[in-house]
Each structure stands twice: as structure tokens, then as C-alpha cells.
Amino acid sequence: MIVVGFICAGFLAVSGILCLVRVVRGPSMLDRTVATDVFVAATVGAVGVHAAVGRYSSTVSVLLALSLVGFLGSVSIARFAARDGDGRPRRVDDGGKK
């Protein structure tokens, strides 16, 4: 079980580093948002691996809170990006035109 934990931790560390690179170099706000969301998912996975290897059941609340923060952050950025320059929601049937 410990070997599998180290392998999973290695993969999650590599994905976290790649996400941080995308956050720094991302050409747009949405690229940075997706990278941040994937980084939060990798963090949830790392905490889950740590809980599984150490057989901790008290980290379920931490996993739930991190998942909720990641979801709410993604939804709020998506709602912000879907607005026009004047602050009104963009209509779906107009093809993105003002």
C-alpha cells in the first residue's frame, strides 16, 4: 500500500507542478481558472491518498470542504466570464453578439 501511495503522490506532484506552470504562463483568465481547478482536484487527490495510506477517517471533512471550494470557485468564474462588458448576462441565442 505504501508503494502505491508513493506512486500516486509522485503523479499528483507532477500534475500540481504542471498546473502551477499553466497558472503562471496561461495566456487567458480561463486557462488560469482551469489550471487552478485542476490544482484543487490534485490537492483533493493528495489529501485522499494521504488519508488512505495513513488510514485516517477524520480527513473526510477536509476533502469535502476542498471539493466545495473548488466547485464554487469554478462556477463563480464561469458565471463571471459569461457576462458581457456591461454586466448583463450574455444571451445564448444571440451567438455572443451585443
57-89: per-residue pLDDT in tens? 889 999 999 999 989 988 888 888 777 666 666
Q: How far apart are the first and last CA of the chain?
A: 56
Write the DSSP string, 52-73.
HHHT-STTHHHHHHHHHHHHHH
| Per-residue model confidence as pLDDT tens digits over 31-67 | 888 899 999 999 999 999 999 999 988 899 999 999 9
Answer whether 0.85 is exceeded by the pTM: no
- The three-class DSSP label of residue 90 is coil
- Please say whether the dihedral angle defined by the alpha carbons of residues 64, 67, 3 and 21, taken in this order, is positive or negative: negative
Q: d(Cα 49, Cα 38) in Å, to the nearest integer?
A: 16
